[in-house]
Amino acid sequence: MIRFKSLFLVFFFLIFNTLITKSFSNDNIYKKIDLFSEVLDKINKQYVDVVDQSDVMDSAINGVLQSLDPYSAYMSPEMFENMATETSGEFGGLGIEVGMEAGVVKVISPIDNSPAYRVGVKAGDYIVKINNIQVQGKSLAEAVELMRGPVGSDIEITVRRRGERKALSFTITREIIQVASVKSEIKDKNVGYIRLTSFNENSSKQIEEKIKEFKKNKNIQHYILDLRNNPGGLLSQAIKISDFFLENGEIVSTKSRKETENRKWFAKKGDILNGDTILVLINYGSASASEIVAGALKDHKRAILIGDRTYGKGSVQSIIPLNNKGAIRLTVSKYYLPSGDSISEVGVIPDFEIAEETDLFRINTNTDNQLDFALKLLNG
């Protein structure tokens, strides 16, 4: 018991050591440490089940981080190794990008043609159970770990969805998720349609190549950039892709705790489309880098935005390794659009708000009323 209490005293001394000298009086912080130690001592003595001290420590660390924002979190050494290790062929996924909101795992977006997408999981769904295990109270890393498993194995997830009175359950078969970042085709004989599903290191090069191919076709007069269900990716790629369509001006800025670390990025002269009309499709599954591109083009009045309000993830996280071979994911800065507006919790508002019409809605199919609206807007 003494060891249990001592561990917590040491733990919280390390956590708050910096705060002692900068934010609190010594008396105040030591009172908080004593209070926390007392609570944990009561848990250890009186809780109905025996608790694992290591697990409780991990939960305490994670609680500190998750109290900051939905995206900061602790990763144990095992979780960090799983994140960092390539598991080609060994583990399968569902094909969803997830985050935390008010202690609940939330779907940011399903990946195109992934197992989750095919069964009907949607951006904004709240995952409440995984294989009949309650998710609330678990960290994001713990929930993701529950979703991992061998390729070909089944998993049942239960979600809550806005507008639905009852929970929805989906049985999903895990697969190796392969993401085709850029897809393109010609619509209505005169519209170059480009679908960007993530911002990886090759996205800007692939988009540039697709546009060059379209420009060889003299019938192409208009363009559509589809960022729906794109959860984001590399900031550098968002900047390059925005720059393709802008002649000049600010693209995005980031602000950190230290003013010396604040940064701004500007467009270089030259619009790859030479001023041709471009529409951008967005929805609640468009997050982070997608919001940077959509917001920059909207602020500069370079594109018309169609669809639903975006997710509102306007912050930058860094993975910081720890001495125990675990890591923390910590928010280190926030994005700001050229207008000076923050994306966080607000998102980007489309010029034309067009909601998905039915539960059968699928992107770039005959049920895609948002794409239909865009094509009608371009061609009357």
Give residue-wise pLDDT tens across range 265-299.
999 999 999 999 999 999 999 999 999 999 999 99
Q: Say whether pLDDT at 209 is over 50.
A: yes
Q: Say whether pLDDT at 86 is over 80.
A: no
pLDDT of residue 44: 85
- Cβ atoms < 10 Å from Cβ of 42: 10
Summarised one tens digit per residue, pLDDT across range 23-45 is 556 678 888 888 888 888 888 88
DSSP assignment letter at 233: B
DSSP assignment letter at 92: B
Lowest-pLDDT choice from 15-24, 117-126, 352-361: 15-24
Those residues with Cβ within 8 angstroms of residue 324's Cβ, 6 or more apart along the chain or in another chain: 77
**Rounded distance between C-alpha atoms, residue 126 and residue 168, angstroms:** 10
Of 237 and 89, the structure prediction assigns the larger pLDDT to: 237
- Where exactly does CATH 3.90.226.10 map onto the chain? 182-315+332-379
Say if CB 53 and CB 5 are below 8 A apart. Answer: no
Summarised one tens digit per residue, pLDDT across range 36-81 is 888 888 888 899 998 887 788 888 888 889 889 888 988 888 888 8
pLDDT of residue 99: 86
Lowest-pLDDT choice from 140-149, 219-228, 242-251, 335-344: 140-149
The CA-atom distances, in angstroms, between 107 and each of 110, 140, 159, 244 are 7, 11, 9, 30
pLDDT of residue 23: 52
DSSP assignment letter at 362: -
Highest mean pLDDT among 20-34, 75-89, 223-237: 223-237
- Where exactly does CATH 2.30.42.10 map onto the chain? 86-173
Q: Which fold has domain 182-315+332-379?
A: 2-enoyl-CoA Hydratase; Chain A, domain 1 (3.90.226)
Percent of the chain with pLDDT over 90: 62
Place of tokens 């979780």: 79
Mean of the pLDDT values across residues 143-156? 90
Active site residues: 288, 299, 313
pLDDT of residue 2: 43
**Rounded distance between C-alpha atoms, residue 123 and residue 106, angstroms:** 8
Say if CB 356 and CB 370 are below 8 A apart. Answer: yes
pLDDT of residue 133: 94
Summarised one tens digit per residue, pLDDT across range 158-205 is 999 988 999 999 999 999 887 778 999 999 999 999 999 999 889 999
Summarised one tens digit per residue, pLDDT across range 91-113 is 568 999 898 887 889 999 998 88
pLDDT of residue 13: 44
For residue 93, the SS3 value is strand
Residue 295: closest CA among 366, 217, 334, 347: 347
State the chain's mean pLDDT as an integer: 88
pLDDT band at 256 (very low <50, low <70, confident <90, very high): very high
Percent of the chain with pLDDT over 70: 90
For domain 86-173, the question of CATH label 3.40.50.300 is answered with no
Say if CB 221 and CB 277 are below 8 A apart. Answer: yes
Look up the pTM and report it. Answer: 0.78
